[in-house]
């Protein structure tokens, strides 16, 4: 009877290890199938053709081939597995491997560079939570190499300032050091500045690209990272024990870290000894038992050893180390199969070790089950402060857990999103039952005052024509509905404003844009397509005079700056893809923490909708990383402004008719293209009341800032507010579209595009002619050659009030409301020196 109970307990341990969703606390990126990395690297740390030729004779290889053949349903030979990989493709083998692994979170060190690595965002197709581990040596090398490219003379002081600022700005869950691969783990925590300076200069003299290798510099980088990690309360993962032949194994013994562990400054910095420190498992177990800050991770040991070796290694770690200091990882890299094998054998080996501990009397059954849950998931979940569920719990039936998780994925609410007259995004949230039964057909009641509200008040502006009396209906456009990736229980739908269902309200932004676009079709048979380049800042909390500061200090198109924000940007990109918003490009902009995303062109209504979705996604994902995203045109006087440059073209069917080389064509534009753009140029001062709608907008529109401060146009002239463009793939003598720079993140995109199209219609009706292009910086021309655009919002409002053509095309009610909102904002913000601090939370 007792043996029967014990066998049931053993089966419970096996089931716990088999079922718990894994937290993979250390891994690397996958590579594409056409990478030059030999598939034999999947099974060994050996490098070079000759060393790899012996890999098939190892125990782990023979076992792994059997495992993969069973997963793929092929013959148990390397050739058959490789043939299956190539025929099935990366997506199929990834789905098989990751489904079988059941990994809920993975922490990726993307500092291990391999040929044709996929992005971090790619892994989210198969693993719900993907977070970054920041390799400190890679950061240091990127900073130094970037400086060399611009002929910067590095000193230790200048490097240290940039290095620490970069570490502080990265979104990550842990640091990682590969000092073991460079100079070993005999880190000197008291390394002097002079020693580090000499080592830095020695490294620089070795030439570019820099590879950090001098011991004193590595010690300096290591200790500075420890200081930042201590301040930010994030762990430092440390490579210990075996790896490829680049390291000196005797210097990878974790006992060499004792000087660091004994330093009072670092006593609170949590460190993780990776790879079970093999073959120094007992030394690692000892360190974890006597130093409170030391934790252990057994990735790579599993699955690279024999079954006996893996079992002994994990047993050795458990001999002294507290159970709650031991964590699982696959150390997966390059090949999806490494994740599968690491997960499969970690479950199997841990179950064997825990059953042995149970049989030996070391662990009662409840503690054995808790150990399975903790080592495979919960310890890392808590240690790395990850969001989400920890997986299997010894006190919770697994079936109930799965049912509960499934229930959380059911859509419970629908958000009806709209932008008001001041450009702010607002929404109403409706329970899914109410939405299906009532709101889809009859809408949601909303005060008319919504289109008279300013950026500083939720009351309608004086003389706006709308008051607190009267309601409209917020009607969902079902064609725009999407599940929100950052909040899966919610769907989002763009909303129109109707007087009553089926009758558009004259102040509805989406309806105004539809109406103006329809006029263009009816009169001229033309459709406008638009694509936005949206600039924004990712800000972190500041200790200076302002509440916020940029997450980094890198320059335009900085590789290091993009690398710093790549987890955030990759998640934004994948989020937008799930919302059917196609991002063509992204890069760092000139401001500290400033970035740009370029969205593909589409019909004007879809383009405006996409810009709202982009703003929603950027804001939500940034918030997830404890960052604040702002589209405010000018948050810091010392930094570059942010715009939402819009590129426009006119089409007939599937043909871009803005381009032209026939009769009437000039400057690479058709006659219709010239007239349309001439109308936009003529009305540009009035358009600014829509596209640069806030007093803060005019702190951005200044000469010599690439924002377009003069009323002119030019071919690829980035100081002109209207720039004609010939992007890659277009004949150099032709123009495919024109860009308006004076469009920013405070603008309601639907109203901005409506004003632009209305101006183009006026140009077509009157056959307006373009002046000659300005081929130089207009600020360098003699005074009076070209006019300045409005220098302040009140001047744009004056131009709009006098613009009868736009009033007729857009409607007098809309213009009355818009002008009233703008005047109220001019009056309210007049003389306020902290204008941007009031607005940064609104935009």
Q: Tokens for 412, please give them.
A: 């419970």
pLDDT at 409 over 70: no
Could you tell me whether strands 594-599 and 644-652 are parallel, antiparallel, or unpaired per DSSP bridges? Answer: unpaired
Q: What angle do CA 484, 489, 494 make, to 5 degrees?
A: 45
Q: How far apart are CA 126 and CA 244, in angstroms?
A: 28
From the number of C-beta atoms within 10 Å of its C-beta (0-12, 13-18, 19+), residue 73 rates as: exposed
Residue pair 698/427 in contact by the 8 Å Cβ criterion: no
Residue pair 677/760 in contact by the 8 Å Cβ criterion: yes
pLDDT at 347 over 90: yes
Question: What residue has token string 């999407």?
Answer: 482
Q: How far apart are CA 405 and CA 257, in angstroms?
A: 42
Q: How far apart are CA 17 and CA 14, in angstroms?
A: 5
Among 96, 107, 118, 115, smallest CA distance to 27 is for: 107
Residue pair 622/568 in contact by the 8 Å Cβ criterion: yes
Residue pair 537/619 in contact by the 8 Å Cβ criterion: no
What is the predicted pLDDT for the residue at 240?
Answer: 96
pLDDT at 285 over 70: yes
Dihedral of CA atoms 509, 510, 514, 517 in degrees, nearest 10, equals 60
Alpha-carbon distances, residue 485 vs 125, 129, 407, 608, 669 (angstroms):
12, 12, 16, 20, 41
Question: What residue has token string 């595009």?
Answer: 753
CB-based contacts of 632: which residues, under 8 Å, 6+ apart? 537, 642, 696, 745, 746, 836, 839, 840, 843
Alpha helices in 579-666 (DSSP H): 604-624
Residue pair 619/745 in contact by the 8 Å Cβ criterion: no
CB-based contacts of 665: which residues, under 8 Å, 6+ apart? 671
Q: How far apart are CA 144 and CA 209, in angstroms?
A: 9
Residue pair 377/21 in contact by the 8 Å Cβ criterion: yes
Q: How far apart are CA 843 and CA 829, in angstroms?
A: 16
> Average pLDDT of 573-585?
90
> Average pLDDT of 443-465?
88
Q: Tokens for 257, please give them.
A: 């870290």
Q: Which residues pair with 29 in a beta bridge?
A: none
pLDDT at 384 over 80: yes
Q: How confident is the model at residue 439 (pLDDT cuts 50, 70, 90)?
A: confident
CB-based contacts of 418: which residues, under 8 Å, 6+ apart? 425, 426, 427, 450, 474, 494, 495, 497, 509, 510
> Which DSSP symbol is given to 692?
S
What is the predicted pLDDT for the residue at 418?
Answer: 93
Among 16, 21, 12, 19, smallest CA distance to 389 is for: 21
Among 530, 527, 757, smallest CA distance to 654 is for: 527
Among 164, 227, 218, smallest CA distance to 187 is for: 218
Q: How confident is the model at residue 287 (pLDDT cuts 50, 70, 90)?
A: very high
From the number of C-beta atoms within 10 Å of its C-beta (0-12, 13-18, 19+), residue 23 rates as: buried
- Of the listed ranges 163-172, 323-332, 555-564, the least confidently predicted one is 163-172
Could you tell me if residue 694 is left (phi over 0), alpha (psi between -120 and 50 degrees) or otherwise beta? beta
End-to-end CA distance of the chain: 69
Alpha-carbon distances, residue 608 vs 20, 546, 740 (angstroms):
44, 32, 15
Q: What is the DSSP string of 515-539?
A: HHHHHHHHHH--EEEEEEEEEEEEE
What is the predicted pLDDT for the residue at 74?
Answer: 94
Q: How far apart are CA 22 and CA 627, in angstroms?
A: 27
Percentage helix, strand, coil, to 5, in the chain?
45, 20, 35
Beta strands in 111-257 (DSSP E): 129-135, 174-177, 236-238
Note the pLDDT tens digit of each residue in 458-481: 888 899 888 888 888 898 887 788
Residue pair 562/570 in contact by the 8 Å Cβ criterion: no
CB-based contacts of 728: which residues, under 8 Å, 6+ apart? none
Q: How far apart are CA 777 and CA 5, in angstroms?
A: 86
Give phi and psi for 644, each to the nearest 5: -130, 60
The count of other CB atoms within 10 Å of the CB of residue 399 is 9
Task: Give the pTM.
Answer: 0.56
> Average pLDDT of 814-837?
89
Among 215, 289, 304, 216, smallest CA distance to 254 is for: 289
> Average pLDDT of 551-562?
82
Q: How confident is the model at residue 388 (pLDDT cuts 50, 70, 90)?
A: very low
Q: How confident is the model at residue 392 (pLDDT cuts 50, 70, 90)?
A: very low
> Which DSSP symbol is given to 790?
P
Look at residue 764 and give its three-state secondary structure. helix
Percent of the chain with pLDDT over 90: 58
Q: How far apart are CA 468 and CA 9, in angstroms?
A: 68
Note the pLDDT tens digit of each residue in 348-376: 999 999 999 999 999 999 999 999 999 99
**Mean pLDDT for the chain?**
89
What is the predicted pLDDT for the residue at 395?
Answer: 30
Q: How confident is the model at residue 407 (pLDDT cuts 50, 70, 90)?
A: very low
Largest CA distance in the chain: 102
> Average pLDDT of 55-78?
95
CB-based contacts of 526: which residues, under 8 Å, 6+ apart? 520, 650, 651, 652, 657, 672, 676, 764
Alpha-carbon distances, residue 610 vs 118, 583, 631 (angstroms):
26, 10, 15
């Amino acid at each position: 009877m007792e043996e029967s109970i014990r066998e049931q307990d053993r089966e419970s341990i096996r089931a716990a290890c088999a079922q718990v969703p894994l937290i993979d606390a250390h891994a690397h990126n996958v590579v594409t199938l056409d990478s030059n990395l030999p598939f034999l690297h999947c099974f060994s740390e050996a490098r070079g053709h000759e060393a790899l030729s012996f890999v098939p004779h190892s125990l782990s290889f023979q076992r792994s081939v059997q495992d993969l053949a069973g997963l793929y349903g092929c013959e148990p030979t390397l050739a058959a597995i490789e043939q299956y990989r190539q025929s099935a493709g990366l997506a199929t083998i990834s789905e098989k491997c990751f489904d079988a692994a059941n990994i809920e979170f993975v922490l990726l060190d993307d500092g291990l560079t391999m040929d044709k690595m996929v992005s971090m965002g790619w892994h989210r197709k198969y693993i719900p939570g993907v977070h970054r581990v920041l390799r400190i040596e890679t950061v240091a090398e990127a900073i130094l190499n970037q400086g060399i490219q611009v002929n910067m003379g590095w000193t230790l002081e200048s490097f240290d300032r940039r290095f620490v600022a970069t570490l502080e700005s990265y979104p990550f869950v842990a640091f990682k050091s590969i000092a073991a691969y460079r100079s070993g783990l005999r880190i000197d925590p008291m390394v002097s500045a002079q020693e580090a300076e000499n080592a830095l200069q020695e490294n620089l003299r070795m030439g570019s690209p820099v590879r950090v290798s001098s011991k004193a510099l590595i010690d300096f980088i290591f200790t500075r990272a420890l200081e930042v990690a201590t301040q930010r309360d994030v762990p430092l993962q440390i490579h210990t024990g075996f790896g490829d032949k680049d390291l000196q194994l005797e210097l990878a013994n974790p006992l060499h870290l004792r000087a660091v562990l004994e330093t009072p400054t670092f006593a609170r910095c949590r460190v993780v000894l990776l790879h079970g420190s093999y073959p120094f498992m007992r030394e690692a177990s000892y360190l974890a038992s006597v130093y409170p800050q030391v934790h252990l991770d057994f990735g790579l040991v599993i699955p690279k050893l024999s079954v006996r070796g893996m079992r002994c290694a994990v047993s050795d770690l458990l001999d002294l180390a507290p159970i709650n200091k031991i964590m699982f990882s696959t150390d997966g890299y390059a090949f999806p199969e490494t994740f599968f094998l690491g997960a499969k054998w970690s479950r199997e080996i841990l179950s064997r070790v825990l059953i042995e501990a149970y049989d030996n009397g070391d662990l009662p059954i409840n503690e054995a089950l808790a150990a399975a849950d903790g080592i495979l998931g919960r310890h890392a979940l808590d240690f790395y402060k990850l969001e989400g569920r920890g997986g299997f719990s010894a006190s919770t039936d697994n079936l109930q857990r799965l049912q509960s998780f499934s229930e959380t994925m059911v859509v419970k609410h629908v958000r009806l999103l709209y932008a008001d007259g001041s450009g702010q995004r607002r929404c109403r949230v409706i329970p899914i039952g109410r939405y299906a039964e009532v709101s889809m057909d009859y809408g949601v009641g909303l005060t008319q005052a919504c289109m008279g509200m300013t950026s500083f008040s939720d009351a309608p502006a004086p003389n706006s024509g709308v008051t607190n009396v009267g309601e409209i209906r917020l009607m969902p456009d079902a064609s725009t509905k999407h599940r929100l990736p950052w909040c899966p229980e919610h769907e989002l739908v763009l909303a129109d404003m109707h007087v009553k269902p089926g009758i558009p309200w004259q102040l509805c932004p989406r309806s105004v844009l539809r109406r103006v676009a329809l006029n263009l079709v009816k009169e001229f048979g033309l459709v406008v397509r638009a694509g936005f380049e949206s600039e924004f800042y990712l800000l972190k909390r500041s200790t200076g005079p302002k509440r916020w500061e940029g997450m980094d200090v890198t320059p335009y198109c900085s590789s290091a700056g993009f690398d710093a924000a790549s987890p955030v940007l990759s998640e934004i990109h994948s989020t937008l893809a799930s919302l059917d918003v196609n991002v063509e490009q992204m890069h760092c902009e000139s401001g500290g923490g400033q970035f740009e995303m370029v969205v593909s062109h589409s019909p004007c209504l879809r383009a405006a909708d996409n810009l709202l979705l982009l703003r929603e996604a950027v804001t939500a994902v940034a918030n997830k990383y404890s960052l604040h995203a702002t589209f405010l045109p000018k948050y810091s006087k010392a930094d570059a402004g942010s715009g939402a440059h819009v590129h426009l073209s006119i089409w007939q069917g599937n043909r871009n008719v803005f381009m032209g080389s026939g009769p009437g064509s000039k400057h690479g534009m058709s006659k219709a293209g010239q007239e349309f753009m001439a109308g936009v140029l003529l009305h540009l001062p009035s358009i600014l009341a829509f596209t640069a709608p806030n007093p803060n907008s005019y702190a951005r529109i200044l000469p010599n800032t690439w924002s377009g401060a003069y009323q002119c146009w030019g071919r690829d002239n980035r100081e002109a507010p209207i720039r004609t463009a010939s992007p890659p793939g277009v004949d150099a003598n032709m123009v495919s579209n024109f860009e308006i720079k004076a469009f920013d993140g405070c603008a309601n995109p639907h109203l901005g595009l409506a004003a632009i199209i209305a101006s183009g219609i006026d140009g077509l009706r009157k056959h307006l002619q373009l002046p000659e292009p300005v081929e130089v910086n207009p600020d360098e021309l003699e005074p009076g050659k070209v006019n300045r655009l409005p220098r302040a919002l009140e001047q744009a409002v004056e131009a709009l009030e006098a613009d009868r053509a736009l009033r007729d095309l857009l409607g007098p009610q809309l213009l009355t409301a818009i002008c009233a909102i703008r005047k109220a904002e001019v009056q309210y913000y007049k003389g306020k020196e902290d204008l941007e601090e009031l607005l940064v939370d609104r935009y």
